[in-house]
């Protein structure tokens, strides 16, 4: 894959991480409001949703780390290929 593709994937993953962090924060606020109001059933449901988003966030972060490693590897390989061309 090209360097550009990995860079685009990384940027998309960072955008998704920011979106999920915002949603998690909103769910945490809703959970706290429901808890203060004494709405235990709603609070549990909101907490479950928040945990689901947190799991998805961890998966996206794993994907980001893998993509960054692949990008570094591809950049290194392309640099080595350019160095080999300089010998001619």
Residue 88 has pLDDT above 60, yes or no: no
With a cut of 60, say whether residue 26 has pLDDT above it: yes
Q: How far apart are CA 27 and CA 25, in angstroms?
A: 5
0.75 exceeded by pTM = yes
Nearest 5°: CA angle at 53, between 49 and 54? 115
For 8, the domain range is 3-86
Q: What is the pLDDT of residue 79?
A: 80
Nearest CA among 17, 26, 19, 33 for reference residue 49: 26
Question: Could you give the number of structural domains in the chain?
Answer: 1
User: Given a cut of 90, is residue 81 above it in pLDDT?
Assistant: no
């Amino acid at each position: 894959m090209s360097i550009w593709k990995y860079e685009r994937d990384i940027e998309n993953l960072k955008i998704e991480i920011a979106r999920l962090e915002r949603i998690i924060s909103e769910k945490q606020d809703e959970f706290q409001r429901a808890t203060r109001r004494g709405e235990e059933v709603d609070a549990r449901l909101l907490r479950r949703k928040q945990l689901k988003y947190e799991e998805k966030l961890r998966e996206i972060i794993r994907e980001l780390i893998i993509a960054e490693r692949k990008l570094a590897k591809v950049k290194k390989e392309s640099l080595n290929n350019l160095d080999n061309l300089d010998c001619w």
